[in-house]
Amino acid sequence: MYTARIPRSTLVGKEIYSTKSLNEIWAQAFYRGRTIQLESKVVAMLETFAEKYEFTWDAGDMGQRGFRKDQQIAHGQFKVKTPPSDNTPLCVEWQMTPPSAITVIDNVAALGLPYRLPTGGRQTFEALLEASNGTKAEEGWVEVRYGDSVDYETSNTVTHKEDDKVLPKFFQDMHNLYARWLLHSAICNLMREEEESLGKRHPRPDASFLTRRITE
């Protein structure tokens, strides 16, 4: 789980009178981040080229019009498991693609490779309004959270024997670093949107200071 603390006004922006929950506003803000938008566009480009030998540069459905159960996000990279509400964070899940990659690596793992691929994972998006201590709600602070978990099969899908093999630590560290950067990108994008709306400039946050991982 990664978190950042930002003013409520920065998160809500023009949606100050919206009936949306903070969880939904934060999830939509995250998917407006430049990095996740770029990731979705690259996936779309590769998929359309592989299928039709054409190039498409479009992020697709990123929750702009809300979230519903089983909705496909970012050209099917993610599927909504739990839509956001006042008391429920958005939860999306993803599956390793192509599935044949798992079988290939598990075959090699059965021969001695000490690693295996994850089968998928889940991501959650939550916004928690901090106690106001007498200040107006719009002047308060919000802790935005981005949870990113990865699933592994305990048994090899080929041999059906338990081995508890996972990706090398280097790849796990790179995955965690990318998750931190996605959060940082989303926060910076919110600041840019506020600047464009109010005509004032924010100092950009330092990624290593702004994002931290919660160890449970």
- pLDDT, tens digit, for every residue of 79-125? 999 999 999 999 999 998 778 889 999 999 999 999 999 999 999 99
Say how many Å lie between the first and final Cα of the chain, rounded.
Answer: 9
- Domain hosting residue 163, numbered range: 2-213
Determine the distance from the C-alpha atom of residue 63 to the mean position of all C-alpha atoms in its chain, rounded to a whole number.
Answer: 12
Residue 72 confidence (pLDDT): 94
Q: Can you tell me the distance from the alpha carbon of 58 to that of 112, in angstroms, rounded to the nearest whole number?
A: 41
Which of these ranges, 29-33, 54-58, 108-112, has the smallest mean pLDDT?
A: 54-58
Reply yes or no on whether the pLDDT at 23 is more than 90: yes
Over range 25-30, report the average pLDDT.
Answer: 95
Residue 142 confidence (pLDDT): 92
Q: Where does the pLDDT of residue 203 fall: very low under 50, low under 70, confident under 90, or very high at 90 and above?
A: low
Taking each continuous run of H as one helix and of E as one strand, the counts in the chain are: 6, 7
Domain total in the chain: 1
Percent of the chain exceeding pLDDT 70 equals 87
Residue 49 confidence (pLDDT): 72
Tokens of 211: 């994002």
Average pLDDT taken over every residue of the chain:
85
Handedness of CA 3, 23, 33, 46 (dihedral sign): positive
pTM score, whole prediction: 0.83
Does 149 or 49 have the greater pLDDT score?
A: 149
